[in-house]
């Protein structure tokens, strides 16, 4: 491992901090589940921006499959427009922010609590502004992450949200029981993914970086991974990226595709046929194609580049594993461009726009 920058060390720390986060928040999640039952919660809103927003999307399929309570992922700047229409005493309102200092996220949580919602902060900073406005805080355990592009905190946030979603499942549901067991095994499995994919990524990046435009797509939780790919690659390497679900990734940008375009899809056993058709169309327009996929899925005839995970993933939890190669691509691409992935240009201006007056990024 080249540890010239913090970012790559943080990627490698992801498995151990996920294990720590799940362990240290076990009692807190159980307490929250009790409050959800007591309050007769009828609606769940996950509110965030940036990588916290993509983490919520990656975990969302487990809420939609196992939780009988309608669950929404909403961008924090938008939620206040809906006001009492969506937020009341029977709402569980979860604001997500590693720093707990982003103004839009803090404001949305404060407003929700004023409207009577059960307000929960998921953050890495127990004394953050967001935590002070919450009825309850679940604190992720990744420790310091002094890079602007967040990696290990995205992993811990995804895992903690998945733990909550599975806690809301029917206790006798064998599928939920199986997935809870898998979640507890994820730290070991994530380490295996890093070990298996890092050398693939580092070997491919010199060819990938010949492209000046990326289109990323995925389905279910991997749609969130595609959005995270776009956030990370744009902020670290300055590469323009458009993101969508796999069925819509070519809509709109179709006319701009050429040999400098790379189309990248996260393909699983569920959506590999759709991915194959999308890749075929992209190739006809001259684009190059990267698939991030599982063993046993053959898309070699319609792709030039391939990154393969070491095992087949659970469909609704796959995003947690597909995150790893996306983070690695981002790191190695930025370094190959001669850029500092820890502190991309313009970071301070962006933070100044998002943080309340007088507050600092911890």
DSSP codes joined into one string, 324-362: HHHHHHHHHHHHHTT--TTS-TTHHHHHHHHSPTT----
Give the whole-angstrom CA distance, residue 36 versus residue 42: 9
So what's the pLDDT on residue 147? 85
In whole angstroms, what is the distance from residue 282 CA to residue 288 CA? 8
Contact 244, 224 (CB under 8 A): no
- Edge-to-edge strand ranges of the sheet holding 71-75: 71-75, 43-48, 91-96, 118-123, 136-139
pTM listed for this prediction: 0.92
Q: What is the CA radius of gyration of the chain?
A: 20
Nearest to 309 by CA among 294, 296, 328, 319: 294
Torsion of CA 37, 118, 58, 349, to 10 degrees: -170
pLDDT value of position 83? 76
CA angle 176, 178, 180 (to 5 degrees): 70
CATH of 196-336 given 3.40.50.1820, 3.30.360.10, 3.40.50.10490, 3.40.50.2300: 3.40.50.10490
pLDDT at site 1: 57
Q: What is the pLDDT of residue 362?
A: 61
* Contact present, 286 and 255 (Cβ < 8 Å): no
Looking at 3.40.1390.10, 3.40.50.10490, 3.40.50.1000, 1.25.40.10, the CATH number of the domain 6-168 comes to 3.40.50.10490
Question: Greatest CA separation found in the chain?
Answer: 58
pLDDT score of 157: 96
Pairing assessment for the beta strands 261-266 and 71-75 based on DSSP bridges? unpaired
DSSP H helices in 117-240: 129-133, 152-167, 174-208, 221-237
- Interatomic CA distance for residues 101 and 52, integer angstroms: 13
Both structure tokens of 46: 């996950």
The token pair at 201 is: 């990524």
∠ CA 113-115-120 to the nearest 5 degrees? Answer: 25
How far apart (Å, rounded) are the C-alpha atoms in residues 250 and 121? 36
Q: Which residues contact 185 (CB under 8 A, 6 or more apart)?
A: none
Res 125: pLDDT:
83
User: In 116-173, where does DSSP find H-type helix?
Assistant: 129-133, 152-167
For residue 25, what pLDDT is reported?
96
Predicted pLDDT at 249: 77
* Distance in angstroms (rounded) separating the CA atoms of residues 130 and 76: 12
User: Domain extents for the chain?
Assistant: 6-168, 196-336
Tell me if domain 6-168 and domain 196-336 are identical in fold: yes
For residue 183, the model assigns a pLDDT of 97
pLDDT tens for the chain, residues 1 to 362:
556 899 999 999 999 999 999 999 999 999 999 999 999 999 999 999 899 999 999 999 999 999 999 999 998 888 878 877 889 999 999 999 888 676 778 888 989 999 999 999 999 888 888 888 899 999 999 988 888 889 999 999 999 999 999 999 998 899 999 999 999 999 999 999 999 999 999 999 999 999 989 999 999 999 999 999 999 999 899 888 989 888 887 776 666 788 889 999 999 999 999 999 999 989 998 999 999 999 999 999 999 999 999 999 999 999 999 999 999 999 999 999 999 988 766 554 555 555 555 555 56
């Amino acid at each position: 491992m080249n540890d010239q920058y913090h970012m790559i060390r943080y990627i490698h720390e992801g498995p151990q901090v996920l294990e720590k986060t799940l362990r240290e928040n076990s009692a807190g999640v159980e307490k929250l589940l009790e409050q959800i039952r007591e309050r007769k919660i009828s609606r769940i809103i996950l509110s965030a921006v940036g990588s916290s927003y993509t983490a919520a999307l990656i975990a969302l399929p487990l809420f939609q499959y196992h939780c009988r309570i309608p669950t929404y992922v909403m961008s924090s700047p938008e939620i206040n427009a809906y006001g009492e229409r969506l937020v009341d005493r029977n709402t569980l309102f979860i604001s997500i922010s590693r720093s707990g200092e982003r103004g839009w996220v803090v404001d949305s949580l404060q407003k929700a609590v004023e409207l009577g919602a059960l307000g929960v902060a998921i953050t890495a900073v127990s004394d953050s502004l967001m935590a002070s406005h919450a009825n309850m805080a679940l604190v992720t355990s990744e420790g310091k992450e002094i890079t602007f592009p967040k990696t290990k905190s995205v992993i811990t946030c995804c895992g903690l949200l998945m733990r909550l979603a599975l806690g809301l499942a029917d206790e006798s549901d064998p599928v939920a029981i199986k997935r809870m067991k898998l979640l507890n095994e994820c730290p070991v499995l994530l380490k295996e993914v890093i070990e298996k994919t890092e050398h693939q990524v580092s070997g491919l990046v010199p060819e990938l970086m010949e492209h000046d435009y990326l289109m990323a797509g995925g389905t279910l939780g991997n749609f969130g991974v595609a959005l995270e790919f776009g956030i990370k690659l744009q902020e670290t390497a300055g590469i323009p990226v458009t993101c969508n679900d796999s069925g819509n990734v070519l809509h709109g940008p179709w006319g701009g595709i050429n040999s400098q375009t790379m189309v990248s899809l996260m393909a699983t056993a569920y959506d590999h046929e759709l991915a194959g058709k999308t890749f075929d169309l992209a190739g006809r327009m001259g684009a190059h194609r990267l698939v991030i996929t599982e063993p046993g899925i053959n898309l070699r005839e319609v792709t030039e580049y391939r990154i393969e995970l070491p095992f087949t993933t659970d469909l609704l939890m796959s995003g947690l594993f597909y995150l790893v190669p996306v983070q690695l691509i981002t790191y190695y691409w930025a370094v190959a461009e001669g850029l500092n992935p820890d502190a991309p240009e313009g970071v301070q201006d962006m933070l100044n726009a998002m943080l309340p007056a007088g507050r600092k990024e911890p």
